[in-house]
Amino acid sequence: MSVLFRPSMPPALFTTKDGDVVLRAGPVLDSKRDFRVHKFILSLASPVFKDMFTFPQPPNQSLNEQQLPIVDVMEPPEVIDRILRFIYPGVEPPKVVNIPSLAALLSAADKYNITSIYPILKNTLKTFLPGNPFGVYVVACRFGFSEEAKEAAKVGNTQSIMYTGFDEGVGHISSTDLLRWVRFVQGREEEGRSAIEGALNWWDLADLVTACSHRKGSKDFYFRLERAVGDAFARDPCVGVKDLFAVLDSVPDPPPGCAPLLDSESGDFYDDMGADDAFSCPVQPMTIRRKLANLAGDLSRINRKMLGEAFGKGSG
């Protein structure tokens, strides 16, 4: 069984003698826990609690040993404990360590209309990017956080949907939201890979290397580079110029140097003095880096364009 929350502080925090109401948390009898709290603080944070305390109480309402009214709530004690830590002044907010625990807090905040903690929880949700974009997307869609849903999709990929630790959350979002994610990440990957192939395809560059000594080795070089760049893009759809340069550095170099060409008029060898583009050689280092820089720009434009199509203009 996974632990949703870190161990809580001692329960004495919500057992103060001046509390005037008891929240009895827990869905089942053997998990229940009492929180002695203050109607005034809960009423300020939650209009739902305010209404509950305003209504006349039935004569047979449960009372504790101190004759305080008991209000049963169905959330687990861990959730109520953390909600109270968010709304009580002078209490350190709890740390949220995973997405399911955050979803449980958001569900309770939504149920009791505790809107004051939404900004904190939304910012916490973004801390799980880019590690779990699909989990973030599910929670964002479930609670109507459109901007956070876009941010999650922006860094998501086809592997993200295979995340198995948050399967129960998918049932809380619509089939439209799920289909939007699938279409977006798959469509962007197809367009991105097409751009990579177009920029690094050896066959399109073959005519450029006919006159240099790279011709024999350039095919393998471009094949390795294209595959490595494609893998980097699949892992991170927001892959940037520096990332692609790092990929280039990891790919084995092609055969060294261009053979000098004969000058057609004098018959002498033409010395390029190390100039990178003397023979328009596509496998010279600076030429490759320019191609990768242009490619990074193309991939970024693809991401922005498809975000706009899937989630509305202004995305990305």
pLDDT in tens, 195-246: 999 988 766 665 555 556 666 667 778 888 999 999 999 999 999 999 999 9
Asked if residue 287 lies in contact with residue 281, where contact means CB atoms within 8 angstroms, the answer is yes
The confidence score (pLDDT) of residue 279 equals 46
Beta-ladder partners of 71: 23
pLDDT at residue 5, as a whole number: 47
pLDDT value at position 90?
A: 87
- Of 18, 43, 119, 27, whose CA–CA distance to 80 is shortest? 27
Query: What does pTM read for this prediction?
Result: 0.79
CA-nearest of 130, 163, 123, 125 to 239 is 130
Q: At what angle do helices 241-250 and 285-311 cross, to 10 degrees?
A: 130
pLDDT at 216: 60
At residue 313, φ and ψ (nearest 5 deg) are -60, 150
What pLDDT is stored for residue 111 in this prediction?
Answer: 96
User: What averages of pLDDT result for each successive group of 10 residues across the chain (316 residues)?
Assistant: 44 75 85 90 94 73 70 92 93 90 95 95 94 92 94 89 61 90 93 93 61 64 90 94 93 65 46 46 76 95 93 63
Kindly give the residue spans of alpha helices, DSSP state H, lying in the chain: 39-45, 47-54, 77-87, 99-111, 118-126, 133-142, 146-155, 167-170, 175-200, 202-205, 215-235, 241-250, 285-311
* pLDDT in the model for residue 257: 56
Is 301:316 a contact under the CB 8 Å cutoff? no
Domain boundaries, the chain: 187-261+275-311
DSSP 255: S
